[in-house]
Amino acid sequence: MRLGIKPVQPFTPMVNPQLEPLCPSRCAIPMKTAPRTSGYTLAPTKLERVVNDSKEGCHTRSSSPLSKRWKEYHGSKDWEGLLDPLDDGLRNEIVRYGRFIEAAYQCFDSDLSSPSYATCRYARNSMLERAGVYGSGYRVTKNLHATSSISMPGWTGNIGVRSSWIGYVAVCEDENEISRLGRRDIVISLRGTATCTEWLENLRATLTSCPFGNANEVKGQTDNSMVETGVLSLYTSSTSESPSLQQSLRQEILRLVQKYNNEPLSVTITGHSLGASLAILAAYDLKTAIKHDLHLSVISFGGPRVGNRSFRQNLERQGTKILRIVNSDDLITKVPGFFVEDHNDVSQEKKGHWLQKHVRDNQWVYANIGHELRLSSRASLKLNSMNVATCHDLKTYLHLVNGFVSSTCPASARMMLEKATTVAPTQ
């Protein structure tokens, strides 16, 4: 989030979260209507009209093994036909990676009075289980730290900590899970903003030149790729005691890719809020730095904007696949800077719109990056009165993902139907 400067409260994980049950046929739930009487039919009730309207666009999707479709679920076809209505297999993958982020929140020591503040609370070999992610088949191989370039006075104590534990790298090692997934998966999980210096970096919202290699270099084109200053600082800064997040990721992913290079392999970066921004930056950097044919994708939740149009175009040239899960009622997804929509229309550029020319290199103009699964708290009967902070919460996102069917069949309608078609047992 980017609304204030205060430490986050301890995060409560969703251990087998009590999400709404998903009926096999989604919204097409058969209703018991009143029996037909002598010669006429009763007019449909309001609820029955909702049911009939909901049947349009709410289809049961044939389920295929994940092992056969994982590349589709990770963007090989740009998620075409999978988002609206939401494919059940993709839904499960999104929620699964969301739980890896929950583990990152749960592992983080957010107690300012603790001598281990801003570190990981658990040892690597038991981290996932103690954070509530049981039987995942993954093993944590690397702890990750983010460092701010902002120095705080010594008297600030823990509040001024510069380097903090922000996530981990884990690799799937269980043979049964590898068979189910259809490949060995490496996951990079990154939490959102938690420390004072991270909040201060969030306020550095102007764009700055991206220092990584880019797809234009081989073509001799000028690159104007820019990213958010604060996010870049957290990704590239280091201290004598703590390497940068960039260094740690490059070394660990290269090691794992070389180790498992003879088998199907994927790298999935997942993050929430600040972690979502760092995930996109890390994807761009890793794709540039590691000279392997990586199947690399990003699944992010509630991410702010992170770069300009040129940065987005470079990501697209790389073939990096990004799926952004966005709550349209979440203010954080609409910041920082301001946004000028473009459709890569060359003919429009030739017309020389003065506004486009004026803002093209402006340090406050961001572009939306990746493909979106757009949800809304207003579509849920349980969530439509939530405040700004709760709309951004990771639990809210997982609740919405679990309940979303399609844009023509909102979660609230499905919840009404499920409640209406539940008949209490008779004595």
Q: Cα angle at 240 between 235 and 241, to 5 degrees?
A: 85
> What are residue 267's phi and psi, to 5 degrees?
-120, 120
Q: Which residues contact 243 (CB under 8 A, 6 or more apart)?
A: 145
**Do the Cβ atoms of 28 and 54 come closer than 8 Å?**
yes
- Report which of 301, 427, 426 is spatially closest to residue 373, judged by C-alpha positions: 301
Q: Which of 185, 285, 330, 393 is catalytic?
A: 330
Side-chain-facing half-sphere of 285: CA atoms under 13 Å: 24
CB atoms within 10 A of CB 150: 18
**Looking at the DSSP assignment, which residues form a beta bridge with residue 366?**
339
User: Among residues 163, 273, 376, 377, which one is catalytic?
Assistant: 273
Nearest to 250 by CA among 216, 279, 289, 211: 289
Q: How many CB atoms lie within 10 A of CB 169?
A: 24
Calculate the CA dihedral of residues 125, 126, 127, 131 and round it to 10 degrees.
170
Q: Check if the beta carbon of residue 170 is closer than 8 Å to that of residue 206.
A: no
- Catalytic entry in 392, 393, 406, 412: 392
Task: Assess contact for 348 and 396: CB atoms under 8 A.
Answer: no
Q: Classify the phi-psi angles of 167: left when phi > 0, otherwise alpha if psi is within -120 to 50, otherwise beta.
A: left
What is the rounded distance in angstroms from the CA atom of residue 155 to the CA atom of residue 153?
6
3-class secondary structure per residue, 83-101? ECCECHHHHHHHHHHHHHH
**What are the φ and ψ backbone dihedral angles of 217, each rounded to 5 degrees?**
-60, -40
233 is catalytic: no
**Residue 273 falls in the annotated catalytic set:** yes
Say if residues 411 and 379 touch (Cβ distance below 8 Å). yes
Q: Which amino acid is at 224?
A: N
Q: How far apart are CA 273 and CA 339, in angstroms?
A: 18
Three-state DSSP class for 27?
Answer: coil
Residues involved in catalysis: 273, 330, 392
